[in-house]
Amino acid sequence: MPAIIIETNDAPFNKVAIDPVTLDIIENALRNARIEMDATLVRTAMSPGIREQGDAFPLIADHTGKMIVGQFGSFIGGFLDNYEGTLEDGDMIFLSDPYSCAGAVSHSNDWLVLLPVFKDGRLIAYTSMFGHQSDIGGKVVGSMPINAHSIFEEGVRIPPVKIWKKGEYNDDLMKLVMHQTRKPDWCQADLNALIASCRVAARRVIEMAARFGDDVYVSATQELLARNHRAMKSLIAMAIGEEPVSFEDYICDDGMGAGPYKIKCTMWREGEKVVLDFAGTDPQSQASINFYLNENMFKMFFGIYMIMVFDPQILFNDGFYELIDVRIPDGSLLKPRFPAALSGRTHALGRIFDILGGLLGQKTPEFLNAAGFSSSPHLFYSGHDKKGEWFQLFQIGFGGIPGRPMGDGPDGHSLWPGFTNVPNEFLERYFPLLIERYETEPDSGGAGLHRGGNGIHMTYRFLASGTISIHDDRWFVPPWGVNGGEPGKRARKILEKADGTSQIIGNKVEEVLVDEGDQLHFITWGGGGWGDPLGRDPALVGKEIVQGLVTAEGAKAYGVVASQQGLVDAAATEALRAKLRSERGALPLFNYGPGIEALRANCEMETGLKAPVQPVWPMLEAAE
């Protein structure tokens, strides 16, 4: 077992009573410090993924490594459990290898910086930030090869090392790391931004401790954790039953022709604890879609979902972790064995949120969400422009958010609430392309009392020859609807050549050649619908026809007869709805669409692509 030695003085922190006003001040000061971390990051990073889209995740933790404020859950525990060495005042840890930290970061593109915060010789806190680097070397531009069979093909792997040691910067280490990437200017700037963000938060923590006293500050962090524990304990007792419930969903394919891949989770409560068991999840893939799911990370996913559905006023932190028991089979898609490839883990990561929605809503269907978080679409475009200069784009696209109990799903929104799109003006200024269309894809959101969010139809015209790669999902297995809502439409990608020909290309493709003048239609999936579509206000459907969110033909899924101008024929609508009600059976709790086998049968006709074949599992010790 690795042994970590923390060089701190032995003076213990004394627990003191915290009055509500002081606790509120410290809580909000920590929230503001986390916001300041984000602001520092976007002002100093260079890559579009971090600077424009915010693909980075901050946290401030207590002296034991438990997150007090943040976005993604504490990854410090995975580091502390696997690091062998010392931590001293003036040190800063740098790492990116998932296998070195039990999945605390889940693919090597995520560079993590961890700063232990010392005050008067005592470790009082940790600050940390990780962000996705646009390129870390490896076999393809962007370092996320679809057809990788091992992590060694995915670029530089950085074990936990000291980028700063007792206040001294390890310049030789950084020269070695930056030598591996195609974009050292971006990577160096982004890494400096991560470091600056951690130092800003560390200063704020020290200022708080100096103002209120070390014992008051530390006691306040423990009370914030305890308060979260009490709140989550009540939510679990209210929302989780002792009878096991299961849910499963599928990643469409692995980009190499095999799929779909099942992720299954069973949930039940034992006393005050909830158990989440992924037994039944498919074995790991031979391609890169594996997701090394850290148990603490999943606990945070679960907690965020519970809090956002049932009580959004609760502060996210790690205080509730002991209330959750996460069980993930070794050698599965969610806990692959070294050296399995991990770079394409985004699809499984997104599907986890859909599965949580399916699990948590079964006891209380009124709180059920449809599917639609699902994935995080990626586009890569690279080559040499007309000046002969190298360019390289990594962009995250958006799909439709699911229909929800409180209303429609947002159209074209990110899986992560804090992400934003890369402005089209930025893309056109720094890359040889034009954005000829950026709009929602009408009718792609599943019909329902509350409509699923529409996907995005984005058309790129390339102004220089080069290569593109696409990472997306939900092209084969549609996002399901709930409480009678319809599934969302599936993703598709169309390459229209400059000579007028066009072809449907896959949603996981690597290094496709494009010429000057070619257009790519990048169309993402819509969210599933929520509730009976025939209960939706016809006037609202008519308004959405005018807005371009629904077509006149698509309005019929709501039993609405309307013109292209959005004028609703009330009599015809009433007649159509009566007909549809008489023809359908009972509304299902989950509407998955036609099912896997039916999807296989009609896949090529509907999508222009061949259906994936049943995966051939790698040889695993567990199967022997």
pLDDT at 623: 36
Question: pLDDT by residue (tens digit) across 182-212?
Answer: 999 999 999 999 999 999 999 999 999 999 9
Nearest Cα residue to 183 out of 473, 430, 396, 402: 430
Nearest Cα residue to 238 out of 278, 266, 274: 274
Nearest Cα residue to 59 out of 43, 86, 85, 77: 77
Bridge partners, residue 461, by sequence: 434, 519
| Cα diameter, the chain | 80
**How many angstroms separate the CA atoms of 558 and 274, rounded?**
38
Q: Is the dihedral of CA 306, 311, 314, 320 positive or negative?
A: negative
Question: pLDDT by residue (tens digit) across 136-181?
Answer: 999 999 999 999 999 999 999 999 999 999 999 999 999 999 999 9
pLDDT at 494: 98
Structure tokens at 329: 């089979």
**What is the average pLDDT across 420-434?**
94
Identify which has the larger pLDDT, 234 or 278: 278
**What is the average pLDDT across 576-584?**
96
Tell me which of 399-403, 528-532, 577-581, 618-622 is least confident. Answer: 618-622
Q: Are 106 and 16 in contact (CB under 8 A)?
A: no
Tell me which of 129-133, 254-258, 308-312 is least confident. Answer: 308-312
Neighbouring C-beta atoms of residue 24, cutoff 10 Å? 12
pLDDT at 281: 97
**How many angstroms separate the CA atoms of 54 and 39, rounded?**
10
Between the alpha carbon of residue 241 and those of residues 237, 364, 374, 405, 528, the distances in Å are 8, 10, 26, 21, 26
pLDDT at 10: 67
Question: pLDDT by residue (tens digit) across 36-61?
Answer: 999 999 899 999 999 999 888 899 99
pLDDT above 60: residue 580 = yes
DSSP state letter for 498: T
Between the alpha carbon of residue 304 and those of residues 36, 298, 314, 357, the distances in Å are 21, 10, 9, 12
Neighbouring C-beta atoms of residue 593, cutoff 10 Å? 18
pLDDT at 308: 73
Question: pLDDT by residue (tens digit) across 339-356?
Answer: 999 999 999 999 998 999
pLDDT at 3: 61
**What is the average pLDDT across 421-442?**
96
Question: pLDDT by residue (tens digit) across 119-140?
Answer: 999 999 999 999 999 999 999 9
Residues 6+ apart with CB under 8 A from 518: 461, 462, 495, 496, 497, 498
Nearest Cα residue to 290 out of 257, 328, 337: 337
Mean pLDDT of the chain: 93
Cis, peptide link before residue 339, omega less than 30° from 0: yes
How are beta strands 4-6 and 85-87 bridged, if at all?
parallel
Long-range contacts of 360-367 (CB under 8 A, 24+ apart): 360/239, 360/240, 360/267, 360/305, 360/306, 360/309, 361/482, 362/245, 362/247, 362/589, 363/239, 363/240, 363/241, 363/245, 364/239, 365/482, 365/483, 365/589, 366/405, 367/239, 367/309, 367/310, 367/405
**What is the average pLDDT across 292-303?**
88
pLDDT at 70: 87
pLDDT at 71: 75
**How many angstroms separate the CA atoms of 398 and 377, rounded?**
6
Nearest Cα residue to 487 out of 523, 528, 440, 437: 528
Q: How confident is the model at residue 285 (pLDDT cuts 50, 70, 90)?
A: very high
Question: pLDDT by residue (tens digit) across 467-489?
Answer: 999 999 999 999 999 999 999 99
CA dihedral 4, 195, 376, 159 (to 10 degrees): -30
Of these ranges, 7-21, 90-104, 303-317, 519-533, the one predicted with the greatest mean pLDDT is 519-533
pLDDT above 60: residue 386 = yes
Nearest Cα residue to 454 out of 503, 407, 505, 490: 490
**What is the average pLDDT across 250-268?**
96
